[in-house]
Amino acid sequence: MTAPDPAALRAHLLAAAPTATASVARVLDVLLQDPVAAAHLTVTDLAARTGTSEATVVRTARSLGFAGYPQLRLALAAAGPAPGPAALLTGSPEDAPDLAGVVASLAALESEALHATARTLDLAALEAAADAVHAARAVDCWGLGASGLLAADFDHKAVRVGLLTRLRTEGHAALVSSETLGPDDTALVVSHSGRTPDVVAAAGRARDRGAAVVAVTSSAGSPLAGTADHVLLATGRETAYRAGAMASRAAAALVLDCLYVAVVQRFGDRAADALQRTYRAVEEPRSADGGRPRRRR
């Protein structure tokens, strides 16, 4: 993993937060709240400030791509002060004192999630994923719960530009479908945690059968990410009361939209023609008996 440049450091800190352990999350919170002040803390100071160990601080730095904590301190100093109210971004909306605070916190979280995702999205992985989807005979779109809504949105758009897709939003359905895929197919798997057992198992079976696996997840260290051929990371933090939160869904939707547009670009005129045909198919009301649209007089 390559260390992020100072301008993108905040985005990487936020990207690491959703799946961090409790001790690492405390270190990340201090770094996010005041990077300049954190840059003046020794490894011992930061460990004491966060109630963790020096080993945890070093492990946090290395998980972000730095050789050690001294290198992270230099990047924090170069990054400068955190923009905006950091407490809104690192705290929990449920802890806001009033409804106005809840609204402000949620809006800040969603905005930050989108910017962090855009800054950290691996463009080479996005290119490779778009190639795999574009070249596929069939594209299976899998996601359970809130992730299923995102998979369904991609499926809806993909059908309209001529892709042969199959939406599966139930675990057993994804497992069964995985056994029908082959080397000419692609599985697009959406999972915020990357740890949903049925989805991970289905992705593994699809890959064993030679299909390409594209994962959209928030966790680079998840079992799904380890199984996938192409991993697209979406930054978005959830809390105990907000599973499938707006910020995480918005980040994943951004990634899927980027993938969709990249595929459309590869189709060129074929996609434009398919879109026109689908627009024409629904532009006039159909007759009650299901026949062709009746001409207006």
Question: pLDDT-based confidence at 105, cuts 50/70/90?
Answer: confident
Pairing of strands 212-217, 165-168: unpaired
Report the pLDDT averaged over residues 97-111: 80
- DSSP secondary-structure letter at 68? S
Instruction: Give the DSSP H or E segment for 189.
Output: strand 186-190
* Mean pLDDT across the chain: 85
pLDDT exceeds cutoff 80 at 17 = no
Pairing of strands 212-217, 230-233: parallel
Question: pLDDT-based confidence at 94, cuts 50/70/90?
Answer: low
Residues 123-281: name the CATH superfamily: Glucose-6-phosphate isomerase like protein; domain 1 (3.40.50.10490)
Q: Of 18, 87, 84, which Cα lies nearest the Cα of 247?
A: 18
3-state secondary structure of 53: coil
pLDDT (0 to 100) of residue 92 = 57
Share of the chain above pLDDT 90, in %: 52
What are φ and ψ of residue 167, in 5° steps?
Answer: -90, 130
pLDDT (0 to 100) of residue 119 = 83
Pairing of strands 139-142, 165-168: parallel
pLDDT exceeds cutoff 90 at 240 = no
Q: Where are the domains of the chain?
A: 6-120, 123-281
pLDDT (0 to 100) of residue 295 = 54
pLDDT (0 to 100) of residue 279 = 83
- Compare 33 and 91 and report the one with higher pLDDT: 33
- Distance between CA atoms of residues 188 and 128, nearest Å: 13
User: Which listed CATH number (3.50.50.60, 1.10.10.10, 3.40.50.2000, 3.40.50.150) goes with 6-120?
Assistant: 1.10.10.10
pLDDT (0 to 100) of residue 7 = 60
CA 294 to chain centre: 45
Residues 211, 188: contact at Cβ < 8 Å?
A: no
Q: CA angle at residue 109 from 103 to 110, to 5 degrees? A: 90
Q: Do domains 6-120 and 123-281 have the same CATH topology?
A: no
Residues in Cβ contact with 258 at an 8 Å cutoff, skipping those fewer than 6 apart: 121, 126
Q: Which residue has the tokens 């946090």?
A: 60
pLDDT (0 to 100) of residue 1 = 58
Which contacts (CB < 8 Å, 24+ apart) does range 20-26 have? Answer: 20/60, 23/50, 23/51, 23/52, 23/53, 23/56, 24/52, 24/56, 24/59, 24/60, 24/63, 26/50, 26/51, 26/52
3-state secondary structure of 214: strand
pLDDT (0 to 100) of residue 2 = 63
pLDDT exceeds cutoff 60 at 35 = yes
Report the pLDDT averaged over residues 20-37: 88
pLDDT (0 to 100) of residue 83 = 55
Share of the chain above pLDDT 70, in %: 83
Range in 79-83, 260-264, 268-272, 291-295 the model is least confident about: 291-295
Report the pLDDT averaged over residues 106-131: 87
pLDDT (0 to 100) of residue 90 = 46
